[in-house]
Amino acid sequence: MTRRNKAAKAKAEKPASDSNDKEPAKEEVPAPTESKELEEPAGSQVAETIEEPLQEEPENEKTEVVEETKVQADEISAPEDLDTAALISDPLSSEERDALTRLRQHEPEVAALRTAVQQLKEKTVQSAVDLRSMCEDAGRIEGLLQVDAGILSSDAVSTHAEWPAEELRQARALLAAVDAWEEAMQKGRLQITAQGGAEELGAALEALLDSFVAVKDAEQAAHACDCACVERADLGVDAKTMTEKPLVEALLDKAIELRSSEEAAERFRSLLLQDSKHRALCELRVEVPVELLQSGGSASQTAMATAQSKGLDPDEVALPSKDLLKGVEEPQKMDAAQLWHAVHTGDLEIVKAFVRRGACTGKSRDASGHSILWHAITFNHHSLARFMVETFPPGTDDGIEVDEVHQRRGDTLLHLLCLSRSFDAEAAALFKKLATKAPPAVFQKVNHAGLTFAHIAASNLNFWVLTFIFKNFQAQAKALVCADSHPMKHLLQAMPQPVPPPAYQPPVGFPDHFRVASMLQQDSSGVVPYADVAFDVGPELKGVAAGRFLAHRVVVVAQSPKLYEMLETIPLTELPKEKIRAAVVRVDERISQEVWRSILQFIYQGTILQEQCTYLHDVARCFELLFAVLLFRLPEPLLHLAQHSLYVLLPVSNPTWALQVFQLCAQKEHFDNQELRPIRDAAAWLLLHSASKLFQTMDTKDVCETLEKVVKSVERSVFDRPRSMSVQGTSVSKQDLIANSVQGIPQDMLAASMRGIPQDLLSQTLSNTMMGFPAQEDLLSRSMMGNVYGSCSGLQSQLTGFGQA
């Protein structure tokens, strides 16, 4: 009997109503081998099945058994009670589904917001204006949706609708800090002219300091978070510092006036001694008045106390005295608070109205002793300041006082202008007017922090002020530069570290078959064949140069456009001692024989090794090399050799060498040469470092002209960073090198260089060349042997790299 027949028989013998036999019936039903849920038959059945051979069954019987097996499997796996089956719950609440529906209805607006957020993430700097624009767009969409903000910020809605909930939360936190700061600034400005007491002033000052710290902390937190929308946020902390600083200082000045009572004095003292307030004052660089840190109220020395002691109305102190208004019709009673509020807010029209009625002049002071001009400059109202200067010229009865000084800080008007957060053309014109009328003592005035206005200008990289002073006030400028306070060091601190020049790597040189140096070999009679140029080098002694070097016109002009121009006009001269006719070139006396010899060696061999130059540890000889390279426009490798050597030597040499190098590189024809930038910047750096002592004995005009160029060089180095310089990065093909070597030389150079030379010169050269001449010999030395009348020895010293002095 087959296994399939046994299964059918067992099913027929099973009682239909006997539910207790259900499990045994399952054991007797043989399961298909594919089913993993049904058990295999007992051991006896298996043995019986194995004993009987399987027989082929019809196809319809196979189908019937398979269907029966499926039914049994369904009966076994189906639950007895469908009501107990677990139901899948909806992950979204009804409010969230409603929010998603509304978001889909406004999909175009939401998509535009997503695009704006993505663009903001890609920006290099994320300003408060950008963040506010994004939040305003989101606010308009939220108004259309009319959905609770908490629902929109839920994870489910943010995930399904791609709503930028986290980006908006971060951006709104930053904007809340900015808005709080702006509100505090507004209240602080109102307190300047308000009639409130110490409590109101203290609250305004506290809000200003707290909001400033909150803005700075919010920006730092944004930079540290993982939200790409605000990680590069710029809330303009530097600009806010410049805006808030004068307002805080004005409030502190007013606090001195209000500390008459013990309670008020203690309130201000405890406020300013708080850690958070102390931090804000330090970051604002505000000097806290000593009076406010003293316990107890003492008699004030301010203008307010003086006025009160005389029984005067404090507001009247802000108006001109009767002595200043002699000859002017007595104006009607005007509100001083209105005047000073207009000054602080920059309301020019109201100030003009006061001036028209004679209610204020250039000498008007507020209760703290400050003039209208002072406050106009402090709060960056340059139009108002210019109006006061033009309406009340200095030196007149009602004129402004150019030498006005802050009683507590010691600042002058020039200090204030250099501290302006936006030194524009209007501020420059105002500085020019005030500096022109200022007495010399104002230029040298040092505030209580030990700084002149030049210190502040240098620290703020105000190159216009420095250049203006060096051009127009040279005596005062030299006194400032040579002062013990050394203001130019502040400019040095702002200057980037000089970039080293490219390291000198000797060129490959001419190939062996191009033996130009063999042309310098003397023949049997001691004559250098075909030499037609004689270079007289070194100082003259009784009208004769220290040394003479012979060369060939066609060789030297190929490497120097300057020599080509010179040899065009120099006639050939008979030289009996050398037995040749040659053009005699007088080399500048500042170039020694040793340096000129190395230059000719490079010209004839196409290279020069550092070990062949015995003077590379002598700063004077290296300067000569740089001077010669620039004078004769020699090939670039020689420039690299000179710059690299000087860059190492200058920091450990006398500063006068840095001065000479800078003056050479800053000449009009060389100043725009970018190849000279490394050594020019290094020399400028060293000049600024030692300016206070180096320029003391120099002529005033020379000092200012040099410093004017130094300032211009520093300005370029700050705002136009040099490219990375390397020999490998500037490599060009041999064809380009050849083209560069003859740049600026006319096409008929060869013909011109042979002027006065016999027509068969080329054939003589080819026939007389000694092809077997050893390449290792120093041909240049041999050719110059007997032609040098003197020698120069250079100073040898072991020196280290730049900046190690």
**Which tens digits make up the pLDDT trace of 62-106?**
445 445 554 454 544 444 444 444 445 556 777 777 878 888 888
Q: In the listed set 350, 378, 406, which residue is the last one of a domain according to the structure?
A: 378
In a domain, 264, yes or no: yes
d(CA 438, CA 443): 8
Are both 354 and 262 inside the same structural domain?
no
Task: Record the tokens describing residue 789, joined without a space.
Answer: 């009348």
Residue bearing tokens 């001109």: 320
In a domain, 275, yes or no: yes
d(CA 795, CA 617): 7
Residue 561 has pLDDT above 70, yes or no: yes
pTM: 0.58
Are both 657 and 707 inside the same structural domain?
yes
In a domain, 471, yes or no: no
In a domain, 216, yes or no: yes
Structural domain of 27: 3-77
| pLDDT above 90: percentage of residues in the chain | 30
Contact 504, 637 (CB under 8 A): yes
Domain harbouring 561, CATH code: 3.30.710.10
Which residue, among 660, 681, 675, has the nearest Cα to 498 in the 3D structure?
A: 681
Residue 633 has pLDDT above 90, yes or no: yes
In a domain, 647, yes or no: yes
Residue bearing tokens 């058990």: 39
Are both 597 and 666 inside the same structural domain?
yes
Burial 205-229 (b: 16+ CB within 10 A, else e): bbbbbbbbbbbbebbeebeeeeebb
The mean predicted confidence, pLDDT, of the chain is 75
Are both 648 and 720 inside the same structural domain?
yes
Q: Which amino acid is at 756?
A: G
Are both 232 and 346 inside the same structural domain?
no
Q: In the listed set 288, 306, 324, which residue is the last one of a domain according to the structure?
A: 288
Residue 453 has pLDDT above 60, yes or no: yes
d(CA 417, CA 376): 10
Task: Record the tokens describing residue 350, joined without a space.
Answer: 């109201």
d(CA 336, CA 314): 10
Cβ-proximal residues to 335 (8 Å cutoff; 6+ apart), any chain: 315
Are both 577 and 702 inside the same structural domain?
yes
Task: Give residue 471's pLDDT band: very low, low, confident or very high (50, 70, 90).
Answer: very high
**Which tens digits make up the pLDDT trace of 738-764?**
233 333 333 333 333 333 333 333 233
Task: Give residue 305's pLDDT band: very low, low, confident or very high (50, 70, 90).
Answer: very low
In a domain, 421, yes or no: no
Which residue, among 618, 648, 655, 612, has the nearest Cα to 795 in the 3D structure?
A: 618
Question: What per-residue confidence (pLDDT) applies to 43?
Answer: 44
Are both 114 and 250 inside the same structural domain?
no
**Which tens digits make up the pLDDT trace of 347-404?**
899 999 999 888 899 999 887 788 999 999 988 899 999 999 999 999 888 999 999 9
**Which tens digits make up the pLDDT trace of 418-450?**
988 778 889 999 999 999 999 999 999 999 889
Residue 25 has pLDDT above 70, yes or no: no
Task: Record the tokens describing residue 146, joined without a space.
Answer: 């009319």
Task: Give residue 290's pLDDT band: very low, low, confident or very high (50, 70, 90).
Answer: low
Are both 536 and 610 inside the same structural domain?
yes
Are both 237 and 115 inside the same structural domain?
no
Question: What per-residue confidence (pLDDT) applies to 608?
Answer: 85
In a domain, 798, yes or no: no
Are both 699 and 589 inside the same structural domain?
yes
Are both 626 and 563 inside the same structural domain?
yes
Q: In the listed set 325, 347, 378, which residue is the last one of a domain according to the structure?
A: 378
- According to DSSP, the residues that pair with 233 across neighbouring strands are 126
Residue 805 has pLDDT above 60, yes or no: no
Number of domains in the chain: 5
In a domain, 111, yes or no: yes
Are both 611 and 757 inside the same structural domain?
yes
